[in-house]
Amino acid sequence: MNSVHERTRAIREAATQLGFDHCAAAPVAALDAAPRLREWLALGMHGSMQWMERSADRRAHPGLVVPEARSVLIVTRSYWTGEDATTDPSRGRISRYAWGGEYHDVLGAALGDLYQRTQEIAPGVVGRFYIDTGPVLEKAWAELAGLGWIGKHSNLITAGVGSWFFLGAIVLDCELAYGDPVADQCGSCTACIDVCPTEAIVAPYVVDARLCISYLTIENRGPIPRELRAGVGNRIFGCDECQDVCPWNRFAQVGAAASAFSARKGLRAPDLVDLLSLDEDGFSTLFRGSPVKRARYQGFLRNVAVALGNSDHPRAVAALTSRLQHESALVRGHCAWALGRFDDADARAALSDRLPCESDAWVREEIEAALAPALR
């Protein structure tokens, strides 16, 4: 197809056929987001995500990913299913995007098919495609393509749609017809900033990952800072608070291909005590083909222990006590903290019994801190 507009129209039609909700393109150009990314990195707000530093240049310059890159094609796919999240503190909350299958697999296959169709539509085109795992600033390119604006919570918002969707990107070395950016429509609203349990949105449009529950429960491999644990609540994988309160999400509708992300049995509102009892094989079985596996077994138990400490689960003390013997210091330490949250003689006895035989210095510190209120 010789016409840029015909080529773009054909690609958009292919995207729709493959289950994507929206498709638009942006020209490769200097991004306003690039210097902001570098400033964010310089402030250390990426925490332990060192891969973001290593890929900073490629994120800012698609030509380092695809030589002679000229366009970035962005597609969206909704994961809103209309199902309600749990409000029961004895049950774990998992971010909506992780209720169903592994989105990298589902979207990656469809995006690969779209790239193949693009090569058929524009013979000789060269590109690369990514589902949030590559060196591409998907949200910034989507904003430039006119698919929406980046809200104060740092997620992309589309008017009349909201923000419950995934983004995919294809960097191409051909021209396409480009969309026009839309105006920021957050206005004076600060709902997302006000609701953040750990005050991670440190300024409009700026999220400090080190304070963000999604980072703390997924990317973070070490202890969750003690002062942030109460704010985690019963969230055991990610956090949707800023999107739950966003006024634009009242327009959310179930996507045409959202069934792949419907809640699997046991993932929408799992019992916290049952989760803490999982061994590694049980964890792998329950979360096979799920994004939750990204937290890894020990990190997941850490999250569940914190959630139990924030719960009123009638079996929490017994469950946490049993895990004071776990081989992982990370798990033992968070179970100790959680037991300290209960005004309970059995919890205090379990901590006192464990302290003399605990060999890990950090876990001993957690036990002593958990017992301190009882000692005063």
DSSP 323: G
Which residues, including other chains, have CB under 8 Å from residue 199's CB and lie 6 or more apart? 211
Of the candidates 88, 132, 244, 360, the residue annotated as catalytic is: 132
Tell the burial category of 30 from Cβ atoms under 10 Å away from its Cβ (0-12, 13-18, 19+).
exposed
Q: How far is Cα 56 from Cα 39, in angstroms, rounded to an integer?
A: 11
- Taking the CB of residue 41, how many other CB atoms lie within 10 A of it? 15
Task: Say if CB 146 and CB 182 are below 8 A apart.
Answer: yes
266-271 long-range contacts (CB < 8 A, ≥24 apart) are 267/94, 267/98, 267/99, 267/100, 267/292, 268/83, 268/85, 268/86, 268/94, 268/99, 269/85, 269/86, 269/88, 269/91, 269/92, 269/93, 270/91, 270/92, 270/94, 271/90, 271/91, 271/92
DSSP 73: E
Mode of pairing for the β-strands spanning 93-94 and 149-150: unpaired
Tell the burial category of 21 from Cβ atoms under 10 Å away from its Cβ (0-12, 13-18, 19+).
buried
- Taking the CB of residue 296, how many other CB atoms lie within 10 A of it? 14
Is 132 in the active site? yes
Task: Say if CB 182 and CB 223 are below 8 A apart.
Answer: no
Question: Which residues form the catalytic set?
Answer: 132
